[in-house]
Amino acid sequence: MSATGQAKALTPPDIAARKGKTPLVCLTAYTTPIARLVDPHCDVVLVGDSVGMVLHGLPSTLGVTLEMMIMHGQAVRRGLERPLMVIDMPFGSYEEGPEQAFRNAARVMTETGSAAVKLEGGEAMAETIRFLTGRGIPVMAHVGLTPQAVNAFGGYRVQGRGEDGERIRRDAIAVAEAGAFGVVLEKVPEPLARRITEELLMPTIGIGASPACDGQILVVDDMLGLFGEFRPKFVKRYAELGETASLAIGTYAQEVRARRFPAAEHVFGDEPKTLSGGEAA
């Protein structure tokens, strides 16, 4: 606890030290209200480029810009106290080379207060990860299904089946050796994710991977049932808030059309009503 009585904010070294211990709880967040909801429960909160699909209606993450990530990062920062906040670097903001990645990652961290960034890619990104971590920018890596490469993969397919598993394994080892403090394993076969977790000295965070991973992450809108009929195999719905919201909105619409809302308690009279404490309503 800090001197103010608040829990100390987690850091990348804190997350790295959780290898093999109590699993890390990770969720995405894109807004201040959701950040406040997940804050007491999570160890890592990712401002994911999935925001493009979840909140902006884009068909993929490829249209997300650096400015969008900074805006949502600033919003999430206002709602977090304890979890480590990590921000996705969007497509086109780091692939050109280490120098481009450093400029943009430094901007993201400076303008949002984020403690780390996340990059997609394995062996091809090792040099960039090494460059960033050597200059004080903590990096979380992401291998397996990397959504920014969806066109190259031909869709959102499981990666690492059969002989292709060795490629994913090499990617995970490469980002670990380059200095990443953790790695997301997305949509890879369970035995492969388990093997990688056993081999690496840094935490693995699974999404469609294995319960053996050192942590798990989901898109918060998916696990809350806010995203319509989108039901990936790896998502467990812990609520159906979309259905609840739809029913509430429908009831509101009925009451407005029937002139049942607003009722007397929702409108104001000509004269102020004095409350018990002498305050006027």
Domain residue limits at 178: 12-240
Residue 229 inside a domain? The answer is yes
Split the chain (281 residues) into runs of 10 and give each run's mean pLDDT.
Answer: 65 98 98 98 98 95 97 98 98 98 98 98 98 98 92 84 96 98 98 98 98 98 86 91 96 98 95 64 61
pLDDT for res 281? 61
Q: Which residues are annotated as a binding site for Mg(2+)?
A: 49, 88, 120
Residue 250 inside a domain? The answer is no
Among the listed residues 271, 270, 253, 250, the one whose alpha carbon sits nearest the alpha carbon of residue 261: 253
Catalytic residues: 186
Q: Domain total for the chain? A: 1
pLDDT for res 257? 98
Residue 173 inside a domain? The answer is yes
Residue 171 inside a domain? The answer is yes
Per residue in 155-175, pLDDT (tens digit) is: 789 999 999 999 999 999 999
Residue 16 inside a domain? The answer is yes
Residue 222 inside a domain? The answer is yes
Count the Cβ atoms, other than its own, within 10 Å of residue 48: 27
Per residue in 231-267, pLDDT (tens digit) is: 888 999 999 999 999 999 999 999 999 999 999 999 9
pLDDT for res 232? 85
CA separation for the pair 181, 116 (Å, rounded)? 10
Among the listed residues 27, 10, 2, the one whose alpha carbon sits nearest the alpha carbon of residue 216: 27
Residue 254 inside a domain? The answer is no
Q: Which residues are annotated as a binding site for 3-methyl-2-oxobutanoate?
A: 49-50, 88, 118
- Strand, coil or helix: what is 236? coil
pTM: 0.92
DSSP 268: -
In this structure, which amino acid lies at residue 217? I
CATH number at residue 140: 3.20.20.60
Residue 256 inside a domain? The answer is no
